[in-house]
């Protein structure tokens, strides 16, 4: 039945191939999956399908020279077979393979339909083509962004608890918050001024110019709470700006109307007549910022009585659950990435995150008893969730040292606040009692656990890298490269 019984003892398949030019076809021993350890045949140099699932397989791409050398080796191995055997092999070979197999369908080929050419089969397969191995310390450094955001959420919740429990006055919270926001704005304004003075030639160093656009879009912001969102809506703008290939910061001196012309036309009606004013652009922008800040201040003041009774008919349990859920959404959907200068992103996840946080804080604020407290907490939430992320992002790009300092301060503040909320101290119990005991314990525990979490998660992520097995090939849908984006209109 089987013609080749004479070779049953030979197990080295490469030695069996006739010394022809044709690449050997797959043999059963080399390809049959799940049949024991020898299915990963040692003399097999190319990729077989089980490699896609087998973890420890070697990389499949080889230099052509290596392949050639191996082909030559194979040929010499074939020649090494005793002549008589190779003759019988020729005679018993049932197929005449005079024409080289080619990967075409329109040619009628003298090969069977299930012929598998070993040199071309899966040659276009790519595994993990965009794999970038992570390093430990850069990963830890990058995780500071997440730590910052989680800490600011924690600080907000701590402030709410403090207000509810009458430990701190709401006016103090919003006062210090506004003071910090003002400080941040001044710092920002100073940085913008420095950027204007020192023009940077490289596009990827060009810093954004948020105030130029922020106030403008704030005035007509379609977002629910203008000031909280108007600065975050500036993120796409640096991208657009450098997209026009004139991204040197010196061009920021130009009047807003010039940048206006670079924008898509949809934004054009939103621009007020900045150019008609006699003031310098920066001064007018500062004025506009102050105007919109005042506008939002008074809007909130007017709205807070309504907000106060917003959820009166809802039970507190639902509120806690809902705000927890919303803050979780905020943390998970927050846009942690540093915006690339060239990316014209639309920030949908970021706006989802910001909206979730503002809704959570509104819901929480509606639990507070007095109008003043409601107003304070809502304003504070706008500062924390709307403005602070923008500042953090900008600060990270400006000064790394400042970023680390800010992270440290946030971690200290958040852990101390949690400690104060949970623990008690200064109530005269025990020998080791002193007024700030709970806070200091919180700081200690918080700092240690943050450090462990940052290091541990980074290490874990690096450890998970070896499970990455991304397969790409000609069967994937191609990504069309289109120069003009029609959907921008």
Partner 1 sequence: MAHPRSFSKTSMAANHNHNYRHRRGSTRTMPYSIAMVSDFFFPAPGGVESHIYQLSTKLIDRGHKVIVITHAYDGRTGVRYLTNGLKVYHVPFFVIYRASTFPTVFSFFPIFRNIILREEIEIVHGHASLSSFCHEAILHARTMGKRTVFTDHSLFGFADAGSILTNKLLKFTLSDVDHVICVSHTCKENTVLRASLDPLMVSVIPNAVVAENFRPLHHPSYGTEFGNHPLPQLIGPHDTITIVVISRLFYNKGTDLLVAAIPRILASHPNVRFIIAGSGPKAIDLEQMLERNVLQDRVEMLGPVRHEEVRDVMVRGHIYLHPSLTEAFGTVIVEAASCGLYVVCTQVGGIPEVLPAHMTVFAKPEEDDLVAATGRAIAALRANKVRTEKFHDQVKMMYSWTDVAKRTERVYDGISGSLSEADFYGYEAADAASWSATRGRAGVHSFALIDRLKRYYGCGIWAGKLFCLCVVIDYLIFMFLEFWAPRDAIDIARNWPKKPRENLMAGDDSSYK
Give the distance from CA 10 to its chain's centroid: 55
Q: Min. distance of Cβ 156 from partner 1 in angstroms?
A: 34
CA dist., res. 77 & res. 18, Å (int):
10
29 binds partner 1 (CB under 8 A): yes
296 binds partner 1 (CB under 8 A): no
Nearer to partner 1 (CB atom), residue 318 or residue 465 = 465
Nearer to partner 1 (CB atom), residue 69 or residue 471 = 471
Contacts of 434 (CB under 8 A, 6+ apart): 425, 426
Helix (H, G, I), strand (E, B) or coil at 25: strand
14 binds partner 1 (CB under 8 A): no
Exposure on the CB side of residue 129, measured as CA atoms within 13 A? 6
SS (H, E, C) 383-417: HHHHHHHHHHHHHHHHCHHHHHHHHHHHHHHHHHH
CA dist., res. 430 & res. 465, Å (int):
50
Distance set, CA 431 to CA 319, 428, 435, 441, 442 (Å): 40, 8, 12, 16, 19
In contact, 337 and 131? CB cutoff 8 Å: no
Stretch that binds partner 1, among 48-56, 132-140, 230-238, 445-453 (CB under 8 A): 48-56
- Pick from 104, 198, 431, 432 the residue near partner 1 by CB under 8 A: 104
144 binds partner 1 (CB under 8 A): no
Stretch that binds partner 1, among 166-174, 177-185, 312-320, 481-489 (CB under 8 A): 481-489
77 binds partner 1 (CB under 8 A): no
317 binds partner 1 (CB under 8 A): no
- Pick from 22, 32, 57, 445 the residue near partner 1 by CB under 8 A: 32
CA dist., res. 173 & res. 380, Å (int):
8
Q: Min. distance of Cβ 265 from partner 1 in angstroms?
A: 13
431 binds partner 1 (CB under 8 A): no
Backbone φ, ψ for residue 349 (5° rounding): -65, -40
474 binds partner 1 (CB under 8 A): yes
Backbone φ, ψ for residue 117 (5° rounding): -85, 125
107 binds partner 1 (CB under 8 A): yes
Backbone φ, ψ for residue 2 (5° rounding): -100, 125
55 binds partner 1 (CB under 8 A): no
Q: Min. distance of Cβ 256 from partner 1 in angstroms?
A: 28
Stretch that binds partner 1, among 112-120, 160-168, 241-249, 417-425 (CB under 8 A): 112-120
Closest CA to 229 of 281, 159, 292: 292
Between 179 and 218, how does the x/- string for binding to partner 1 read (CB under 8 A)? ----------------------------------------
CA dist., res. 11 & res. 389, Å (int):
66
Q: Which residues of 170-184 are buried (b: 16+ CB within 10 A; e: fewer)?
A: beebbeebbeebeeb
Nearer to partner 1 (CB atom), residue 61 or residue 95 = 95
483 binds partner 1 (CB under 8 A): yes
479 binds partner 1 (CB under 8 A): yes
481 binds partner 1 (CB under 8 A): yes
- Pick from 19, 40, 52, 459 the residue near partner 1 by CB under 8 A: 52
- Pick from 7, 40, 67, 398 the residue near partner 1 by CB under 8 A: 7
Nearer to partner 1 (CB atom), residue 65 or residue 481 = 481
Nearer to partner 1 (CB atom), residue 17 or residue 403 = 17
CA dist., res. 184 & res. 386, Å (int):
13
Size of interface with partner 1, in residues (CB under 8 A): 67
Q: Is residue 45 classed exposed, middle or buried when 0-12, 13-18 and 19+ CB atoms within 10 A define those classes? A: middle
CB atoms within 10 A of CB 68: 11
33 binds partner 1 (CB under 8 A): yes
Q: Min. distance of Cβ 1 from partner 1 in angstroms?
A: 6
Instruction: Return the bridge partners of 127, or none.
Output: 471
Stretch that binds partner 1, among 118-126, 198-206, 278-286, 404-412 (CB under 8 A): 118-126
CA dist., res. 367 & res. 369, Å (int):
6
99 binds partner 1 (CB under 8 A): yes
In contact, 257 and 191? CB cutoff 8 Å: no
Nearer to partner 1 (CB atom), residue 5 or residue 42 = 5
103 binds partner 1 (CB under 8 A): yes
Stretch that binds partner 1, among 95-103, 231-239, 253-261, 385-393 (CB under 8 A): 95-103
95 binds partner 1 (CB under 8 A): yes
- Pick from 70, 88, 109, 251 the residue near partner 1 by CB under 8 A: 109
Check residue 383 and report its DSSP letter.
I
Residues in the chain: 489
Which residue ranges make up the site for partner 1 (CB under 8 A)? Answer: 1-5, 7-11, 13, 16, 25-29, 31-35, 38, 48-50, 52-53, 94-96, 98-99, 103-110, 112-116, 121-122, 124-125, 470-484, 486, 489
């Amino acid at each position: 039945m089987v013609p080749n019984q004479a070779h049953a003892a030979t197990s080295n398949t490469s030695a069996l191939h006739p010394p022809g030019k044709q690449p050997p076809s797959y043999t059963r021993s080399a390809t049959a999956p799940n049949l024991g350890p020898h299915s990963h045949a040692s003399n097999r140099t190319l990729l077989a399908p089980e490699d896609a699932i087998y973890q420890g397989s070697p990389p499949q791409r080889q230099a052509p020279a290596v392949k050639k050398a191996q082909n030559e080796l194979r040929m010499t191995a074939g020649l090494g077979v005793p002549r008589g055997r190779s003759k019988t092999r020729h005679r018993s070979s049932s197929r005449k393979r005079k024409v080289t197999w080619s990967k075409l369908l329109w040619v009628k080929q003298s090969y069977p339909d299930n012929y598998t050419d070993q040199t071309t089969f899966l040659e276009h397969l790519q595994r993990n083509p965009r794999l970038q191995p992570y390093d430990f310390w850069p990963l830890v450094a990058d995780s500071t962004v997440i730590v910052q955001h989680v800490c600011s959420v924690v600080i907000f919740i701590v402030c709410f608890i403090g207000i509810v429990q009458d430990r701190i006055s709401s006016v103090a919270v919003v006062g210090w918050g506004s003071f910090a926001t003002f400080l941040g704005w001044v710092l920002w304004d100073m940085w913008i001024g420095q950027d204007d003075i020192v023009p940077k030639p490289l596009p990827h160093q060009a810093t954004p110019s948020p105030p130029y656009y922020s106030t403008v879009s704030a005035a007509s912001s379609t977002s629910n709470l203008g000031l909280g969102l108007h600065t975050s809506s500036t993120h796409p703008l640096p991208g657009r700006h450098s997209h026009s290939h004139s991204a040197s910061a010196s061009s920021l001196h130009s009047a807003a109307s010039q940048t206006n012309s670079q924008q898509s036309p949809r934004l054009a009606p939103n621009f007020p007549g900045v150019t008609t004013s006699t003031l310098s652009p920066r001064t007018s922008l500062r004025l506009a910022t102050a105007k919109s800040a005042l506008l939002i201040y008074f809007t909130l003041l007017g709205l807070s009585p309504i907000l106060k009774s917003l959820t009166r008919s809802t039970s507190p349990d639902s509120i806690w659950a809902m705000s927890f859920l919303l803050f979780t959404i905020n943390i998970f959907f927050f846009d942690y990435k540093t915006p690339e200068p060239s990316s014209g992103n639309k920030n949908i996840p970021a706006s989802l995150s910001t909206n979730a946080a503002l809704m959570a804080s509104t819901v929480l604020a509606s639990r507070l008893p007095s109008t003043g407290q409601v107003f304070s907490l809502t304003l504070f939430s706008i500062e924390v969730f709307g403005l602070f992320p923008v500042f953090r992002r900008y600060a990270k790009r400006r000064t790394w040292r400042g970023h680390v300092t800010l992270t440290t301060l946030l971690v200290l503040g958040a852990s101390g606040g949690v400690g104060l909320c949970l623990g008690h101290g200064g109530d005269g119990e025990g020998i080791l009692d002193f007024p700030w005991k709970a806070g200091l314990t919180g700081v200690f525990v918080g700092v240690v656990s943050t450090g462990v979490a940052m290091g541990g998660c980074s290490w874990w992520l690096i450890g998970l890298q070896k499970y990455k097995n991304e397969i790409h090939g000609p069967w994937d849908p191609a990504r069309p490269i289109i120069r003009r984006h029609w959907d921008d209109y």
